[in-house]
Chains A and B, each alone.
Chain A
Amino acid sequence: MSQMQEFLMDKVDVCVIGAGHAGCEAALACARLGLETVIFTVSVDSIALMPCNPNVGGSSKGHLVKEVDALGGEMGKNIDKTFIQSKMLNRSKGPAVHSLRAQADKADYSRSMRKVLEKQEHLTIKQAEVTDLIWEEDPETSIKKIKGVKTFTGAVYECKAAVLCTGTYLRARCLCGESITYTGPNGLQAANHLTDSLKDMGIELRRFKTGTPARMEKKSLDFSKMEEQFGDERIVPFSFSTNPEDIQKEQVSCYLTYTNERTHEIIRANLDRSPIYAGIIEGTGPRYCPSIEDKVVKFADKERHQVFIEPEGIHTDEMYVGGMSSSLPEDVQLAMYRTVPGLENCRIVRNAYAIEYDCIDAQQLYPTLEFKKVSGLFAGGQFNGSSGYEEAAAQGLIAGINAAMSLLGREPLVLDRSEAYIGVLIDDLVTKENFEPYRMMTSRAEYRLLLRQDNADLRLREKGFRIGLVSKEEYEAVLKKKSQIEEEIQRLKSVTIGASEKYQIFLEKYGSSPLKTGTSLAELMCRPELDYEKLGEIDPGRKELPDSVIEQVEIEIKYEGYIERQLRQVEQFKKMEKKKIPQDLDYDEVPSLRIEARQKLKNLRPVSVGQASRISGVSPADISVLLVYLEHRKGKN
Chain B
Amino acid sequence: MDTDTIAAIGTALSNSGIGIIRVSGKEAVHVVNQIYRDKNGSQTMHSMKSHTIHYGFIVDEKGEAVDEVMVSYMKGPKSFTAEDTVEINCHGGILLLNRVLELVIKSGARLAEPGEFTKRAFLNGRIDLTEAEAVMDVIGAENELALKSSVSQLKGAVSSRIKELREKILYETAFIESALDDPEHISLNGYKEHLEKVLKELLTEADKLLSGADDGKILKEGIHTVIVGKPNAGKSSFLNLLLGEDKAIVTDIAGTTRDILEEHVLLKGMDLKLIDTAGIRFTEDAVEKIGVEKAREYAQNADLILFMADSSVPLDENDEEIIRLTSSKKCIVLLNKTDLKPVVTEDMIRKAFYDIAEREPVIIKISARESVGVEEFEKALQEMFFKGEISFENEVYITNLRHKEALQDAKTSLLMVEKSLRENLPEDFYSIDLMGAYVSLGKIIGEEISDDLVEEIFSKFCMGK
Contacts and interface: CB of A to CB of B under 8 A. Distances in A.
Contacts of B132: 628-629, 631-632
Interface string B388-415: 0000000000000000000000000000
Contact of A621 (B139, B450, B462): B139
A442 B136 contact: no
Interface string A288-301: 11100001001100
A318 B180 CA distance: 29
A446 to B, nearest CB: 8
B454 interface: yes
A53 interface: yes
A94 interface: yes
B465 A621 contact: no
B428 A94 contact: yes
Interface stretch (B76-84, B181-189, B360-368): B181-189
A90 to B, nearest CB: 5
A59 B181 contact: yes
B432 A591 contact: no
B428 A591 contact: no
Contact of A92 (B136, B426, B451): B426
B373 interface: no
B458 interface: yes
B47 interface: no
Interface stretch (B48-56, B115-123, B193-201, B330-338): B115-123
A298 B462 CA distance: 8
Interface string B433-465: 000000000000000001101100110001111
B137 interface: yes
A230 interface: no
B402 to A, nearest CB: 13
Interface string B301-337: 0000000000000000000000000000000000000
B451 A442 contact: no
Contacts of B123: 628, 631
Contact of B129 (A97, A444, A635): A635
A499 interface: no
A624 B147 CA distance: 14
Interface residues of A, number: 52
Contact of A629 (B114, B136, B432, B463): B136
A624 B180 contact: no
Nearest to B430: A94
A566 to B, nearest CB: 8
B129 A287 contact: no
Given A59-B182, A325-B465, A632-B129, A443 B144 contact: no
A625 B181 contact: no
Contacts of B113: 620, 624
Nearest to B458: A287
Contact of A592 (B140, B147, B177): B140
A289 B463 contact: yes
A289 B184 CA distance: 13
Contacts of B254: none
Contact of B122 (A290, A621, A628): A628
Contact of B115 (A96, A299, A624): A624
A592 B137 contact: yes
Contacts of B122: 628, 631
A343 B95 CA distance: 73
B340 to A, nearest CB: 57
A93 B139 contact: no
Q: Which one of A90, A593, A594 has the greatest number of beta carbons of chain B within 10 Å?
A: A90
A305 interface: yes
A94 B426 contact: yes
B427 A94 contact: yes
Nearest to B457: A443
A343 B448 CA distance: 47
A591 B136 contact: yes
Interface in B160-204: 177, 180-185, 188
Interface in B17-55: none
B458 A616 contact: no
Contacts of B432: 449, 562
Nearest to B143: A621
Interface string B131-156: 01101110111011001000000000
B431 interface: yes
Contacts of B184: 89, 306, 308
A96 B181 CA distance: 12
Nearest to B464: A323
A602 interface: no
Give me the 7 closest cross-chain CB pairs, A-B, nearest first. Answer: A621-B143, A289-B465, A94-B426, A592-B140, A632-B132, A287-B458, A443-B177
Given A94-B427, A620-B113, 13 more contacts: A59-B182, A89-B184, A93-B183, A93-B427, A93-B428, A97-B180, A288-B463, A306-B185, A441-B177, A443-B181, A443-B453, A590-B136, A631-B122
Interface of B: 113-115, 119, 122-123, 129, 132-133, 135-137, 139-141, 143-144, 147, 177, 180-185, 188, 423-429, 431-432, 450-451, 453-454, 457-458, 462-465
16 contacts: A59-B182, A94-B426, A97-B180, A288-B181, A290-B463, A323-B185, A443-B181, A443-B453, A449-B432, A592-B136, A592-B141, A594-B140, A625-B136, A625-B139, A628-B123, A635-B129
